[in-house]
């Protein structure tokens, strides 16, 4: 299980409600939310329980 506040910027999420794929731009705190953008550039904020991590942008060295 990933630590929800330590996911790398650029990670891909799938929104549970709409199955839309979004990209992590920033992690906001209290409460923890993810600032994301979709393919059309629209910015949305999601709480940690509203999305599933699909792909991490972390480099494997």
For position 44, what pLDDT does the model report? 96
CATH class of the domain at 12-55: mainly beta
59 vs 36, higher pLDDT: 36
pLDDT at 43 over 50: yes
pLDDT at 1 over 70: no
Establish how many alpha carbons lie within 13 A of residue 22's alpha carbon, considering only the half-sphere containing its beta carbon. 24
For position 60, what pLDDT does the model report? 43
Q: Which helix (H) or strand (E) holds 52?
A: strand 51-55
> CA-CA distance, 28 to 31, in Å (whole number)?
7
């Amino acid at each position: 299980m990933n630590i929800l506040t330590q996911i790398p910027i650029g990670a891909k999420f799938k929104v549970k409600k709409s199955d839309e794929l979004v990209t992590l731009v920033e992690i906001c705190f209290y409460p923890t939310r993810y600032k994301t953008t979709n393919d059309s550039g629209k910015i949305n904020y999601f709480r940690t329980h509203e999305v599933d991590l699909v792909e991490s942008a972390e480099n494997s060295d």
